[in-house]
Amino acid sequence: MARILIADDSEPMRIALKTLFVLRPQWEICGEAENGREAVAKATELQPDLIVLDFKVPLSNGLQAAGEISRTMPTTPIVMYTFDWNADLEIVAKLAGIWRLVVKENGVQELLSAMDAELAFKEYKKKSQHA
């Protein structure tokens, strides 16, 4: 069971993502955050397997939150799900610890595929370290 933390300041977006994610029986929503500080605190407290993080969250934007999370939890995939994409943001996101950036306008299938890929990669790395 993969435990997912959703961090987005939009309640309708969090509800939509939860509704979508519960259709995956192998995923569990372990928590939600509506701002950057809460995302860092919940990530530390809940130790999720993957974090879906919006770029524009109040009280520490998504990049700042990702940087803090990735320093203490470097093996936890962070997928940034945002309307704001450009090549510079993608570079800065990677430097902040974002594993993958997905543009909201591209639809949820791209997000689901990114999450599947990052969870599979995390599991592969975990198994190869124990081999």
pLDDT higher than 70, residue 131: no
Could you tell me which residue, 117 or 131, shows the higher pLDDT? 117
Return the number of other C-beta atoms located less than 10 Å from residue 125's C-beta.
11
CA distance 52 to 55: 10
pLDDT at 28: 96
pLDDT at 120: 92
- 25: containing domain: 2-130
pLDDT higher than 70, residue 130: no
What is the Cα gyration radius of the chain? 13
pTM (whole model) above 0.75: yes
Would you place residue 53 in the very low, low, confident or very high pLDDT band (cuts 50, 70, 90)? very high
Could you tell me which residue, 32 or 121, shows the higher pLDDT? 32
Q: Tell me, rounded to whole angstroms, the distance of Cα 35 from its chain centroid.
A: 13
Q: For residue 40, what is the domain's CATH number?
A: 3.40.50.2300
Q: Which of 3-17, 31-45, 116-130 has the lowest mean pLDDT?
A: 116-130
CA distance 110 to 40: 25
pLDDT at 124: 82
pLDDT digits (tens, 9 = 90+) for 58-110: 777 889 999 999 999 999 999 999 887 778 888 899 999 999 999 999 889 99
Q: Sign of the C-alpha dihedral, residues 61, 8, 33, 45?
A: negative
pLDDT higher than 80, residue 8: yes
- The torsion angles phi and psi of 72, rounded to 5 degrees, stand at -95, -20
pLDDT digits (tens, 9 = 90+) for 35-48: 999 999 999 999 99
Number of domains in the chain: 1
